[in-house]
Chain A
Amino acid sequence: MWDYTEKVLDLFYNPKNQGAIAQSDDPEIAVVYGEVGSIACGDALRLHLKIEVVTDQILDASFQTFGCTSAIASSSALTELVKGLTLDQALNITNREIADYLGGLPEAKMHCSVMGQEALEAAIYKYRGIEVAAHEDDEGALVCACFGISENRIRRVVIENNLTTPEEITHYVKAGGGCGSCLVNLEDIIAAVQTERDAMSAKLEAELATAQERTNRPLTTVQKIELIQQVLTEEVRPILLADGGDVELYDVDGDRVLVTLKGACGSCESSTATLKGAIESRLQERVLPSLIVEAI
């Protein structure tokens, strides 16, 4: 049985600020909500904020939560913590403060407090019109139970940032920073990514070498398109597909490579830049240094 504090149990049995907040007709008052959650982990939180537009002050906060005892208590604690704060002050709240308010949470349940902090961020960003990337990559098998980090999310951060140690992963996505029992799994993921990468590079290098050998002249347009297509198919797409995204070659115009980003990549604002960068540098390295990738 989880060793919950009296405060956690009290807020679970007698939660404060449960439910939604009615929309207001007053132009001075804004009502927004932020959502966060994952069915894989089994909890989801919708945080509602009532904001005074002029002062940026949170007049009221409430929650709707699908989750366990500590998820419900963390949600309720969060609403108590943010009431009366300005949005900027609220953004400074950390998951640790939510946990402290509860008198602590079991290590394996710390992700409940992280969820609270993320929902708060989502609600405020939504109010301010900042799009937050949908965390499609949060789905999948959980690796770090303490912080609720999935294998896909870890794989992605390892691939995108060339991470080589579990400690680096902890710094990037917190995974491994709780009880530490997933550190070996993190090592396995790094090794798997490395193996995939090595296999892929070796295969491509061999093929590129033969292509180069066949002609000492600069690449013809057809050869260029063929090589770009090959690098996209064999090296770029598998990485994107793992995250629910995809890319398709649209056209090649001189050194301009036009691609269509699809799936999760298409809708994911923040990743567009990185993906474009990743695809571009890959193509420059593999095909021609002068190539420029543009997403259409």
Chain B
Amino acid sequence: MQTTTHRDHPVIYLDNNATTKVDPAVIEAILPYLGEYYGNPSSMHTFGGQVGKALKAAREQVALLFGAEASEVIFTSCGTEGNNTAIRAALAAQPDRRHIITTQVEHACVLNLCKQLEKQGYTVTYLSVDAQGLIDPMELEAAITGNTALVTTMYANNETGVVFPIEQIGAIAKEYGATFHVDAVQVAGKLPLDMKHSTVDLMTISGHKLHAPKGIGALYVRRGFRFRPLLIGGHQERGRRAGTENVPGIIGMGKAAEIANFELKYLGREARLRDRLEQGLLNRIENCQVNGHPTKRLPNTTNIGFKFIEGEAILFSLNQYGICASSGSACTSGSLEPSHVLQAMGLPYTILHGSIRFSLSRFTTEAEVDRVVEVMPGIVDRLRAMSPFNSDEADWLQGRQEAVLTH
């Protein structure tokens, strides 16, 4: 980590879909449970029991965030564990059914698990998305059968912020008796959740996306769902997730959920700042576009494609100003393949490689947004001056693109 590159700049953190700042109030709530309250909540003494009481309160806060009952909440270690647990549980609940429906734009922890399940004999349908990142419920209707055990989809996409119509999807899943799991990791704290009036059976959320620390997540399991655990062991979490509780994490997630519930009514402010950023960039910089549906979108996310330049180079340039964002370009992913989400949307390679995601939080200020709008045109100009491509008509680029598309 090159911390030196922004030693003269305060950090401007616009990468909140990757992770978020732990709220100072959350840290304050956690600290006693890292210190004096170290008891095991399962113990038969007051010292441990008082920790158990704190966990109960935290569970109730998280249940409120879900719009659910406390008994419907299982604490996990992260979003990945939640999604793995939910998918396995759904398949175990209806072992005779051998078909799964998901989408092409899921997080790796869903996609890669589905790919593994294919090797174990399951058939998986990966629903496509259109150029704006939305799925077509008609495609789901066409794919779903009485053999479908599970429909698993994200609520909102982490890269574009595009929001799926989950109740519409859930209604179709219910019609065929399939379990409906929703990965709401990007949504918790950004849109209100109401599991009491929902078709969702299982829903995953993660603490560190809503200003709790890393290493804690939660899974909503609808009452009455025949749930089989992934981790087998003790009686913790009513036998549905064995292992001594991550007490500081759960306390932190409880506090974070409490604050998120309160903050939900102020999300308009975040959306206004996001729009200010987006409009500022689009007005000042030529040859760029927003990726994803303009309105069916999380209030905090914008994904912008800057043509003719590469995303990682943009990120390292932003880093000089202490600005943190992320990119769907090949060079920023571990796999050196451009974003599967933007690829699924059928975007051209010039957009794929030059895509930058800015994701805001309630801590984002107008001054920070304005600073990005101020420095970004210079960064783009500098890199475009270096690039051999400068217009869509560049024949070399066109030729290359066709060569790729024909494969």
Contacts and interface: CB of A to CB of B under 8 A. Distances in A.
Interface string A211-231: 000000000000000000000
A46 B386 CA distance: 10
6 contacts: A1-B1, A19-B386, A44-B389, A70-B331, A71-B331, A139-B404
A45 B388 CA distance: 7
Interface stretch (A35-43, A83-91, A163-171, A194-202): A35-43
A244 B388 contact: no
B176 interface: no
Among B309, B310, B329: residue with most chain A CB under 10 A: B310
Interface string A42-80: 111110000000000000000011111111100000000
A66 B309 contact: yes
Contacts of A69: 312-313, 316, 331
Contact of B387 (A12, A64, A136): A64
Nearest to B308: A66
Interface in B215-268: none
Interface string B295-327: 000000000000011111100110010000000
A140 interface: yes
Given A12-B316, A66-B310, A72-B313, A139 B330 contact: no
Interface string A114-152: 000000000000000000000010011110010010001
B406 interface: yes
Contacts, number: 104
Contact of B353 (A18, A42, A64): A42
B401 A65 contact: no
A139 B407 contact: yes
B25 interface: no
* 7 nearest A-B pairs in the assembled complex, by CB-CB distance: A68-B331, A68-B312, A64-B388, A42-B330, A145-B336, A42-B353, A46-B388
B331 A67 contact: yes
Interface string A14-40: 010011000000000000000101111
Contact of B310 (A1, A2, A71): A71
A39 B329 contact: no
B407 A152 contact: yes
Contacts of B336: 41, 108, 142, 145, 148
B2 interface: yes
B403 interface: yes
A38 B349 CA distance: 10
A40 B320 contact: no
A241 to B, nearest CB: 10
Given A64-B386, A64-B388, A244 B316 contact: no
B343 to A, nearest CB: 11
B167 interface: no
B102 to A, nearest CB: 21
Among B316, B349, B387: residue with most chain A CB under 10 A: B316
Contacts of A18: 385-386
B406 A9 contact: no
B168 interface: no
Contacts of A67: 310, 313, 331
A101 interface: no
B259 to A, nearest CB: 29
B310 A42 contact: yes
B404 A68 contact: no
Contacts of B386: 15, 18-19, 64-65, 72
Given A42-B330, A244-B406, A68 B338 contact: no
Given A15-B386, A18-B386, A44-B389, 7 more contacts: A9-B316, A19-B385, A42-B330, A64-B387, A65-B388, A67-B313, A139-B404
B57 interface: no
Nearest to B349: A39
B219 to A, nearest CB: 30
B387 A65 contact: yes
A66 B353 CA distance: 10
A44 B388 contact: yes
A15 B396 CA distance: 24
B389 A66 contact: yes
B5 A39 contact: no
Among B2, B329, B387, B407: residue with most chain A CB under 10 A: B407
B379 to A, nearest CB: 11
B388 A66 contact: yes
A172 interface: no
